[in-house]
């Protein structure tokens, strides 16, 4: 697999019911009515390749406190609880793609309509 995490992140996001991709603010962003994940490579000179995503209440604070080498409070949307996830860490800080799938799915759940969450859960 390529070192470029974008194809893997894209596959995860587009596997969710009715998710679409558009360029927003110059970066690939995934939507289900509203945005739920935005790829932010080295955003405004940031030292990291990362993505930002919607997160359930309290998750951003918890993950940033537990693992500041893997997670951060992103600018612009961090005050709304969005989570920043570093994609270019190495060793113990390398991306855990199963965890990233869970994080992206939780982000989707934060913005998706109830009928699509039911589809995701296999109830529709």
CA 113-16-112 angle, 5° bins = 15
3 state SS of 45: helix
Angle at 79 between CA 74 and CA 81, to 5 degrees: 80
pLDDT given at position 124: 65
- Give this prediction's pTM: 0.93
Return mean pLDDT, the chain. Answer: 93
What tens digit of pLDDT does each residue of 38-94 get? 999 876 667 789 999 999 999 999 999 999 999 999 988 999 999 999 999 999 999
């Amino acid at each position: 697999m390529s070192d470029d995490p974008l194809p893997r992140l894209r596959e995860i996001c587009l596997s969710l019911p009715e998710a679409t991709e558009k360029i927003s603010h110059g970066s690939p962003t995934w939507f289900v009515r509203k945005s739920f994940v935005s790829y932010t490579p080295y955003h405004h000179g940031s030292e990291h390749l990362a993505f930002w995503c919607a997160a359930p209440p309290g998750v951003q604070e918890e993950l940033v406190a537990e693992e500041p080498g893997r997670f951060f409070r992103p600018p612009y949307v961090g005050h709304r609880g969005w989570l920043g996830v570093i994609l270019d860490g190495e060793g113990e800080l390398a991306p855990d793609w199963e965890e990233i799938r869970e994080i992206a799915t939780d982000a989707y759940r934060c913005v998706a309509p109830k009928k699509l969450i039911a589809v995701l859960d296999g109830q529709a």
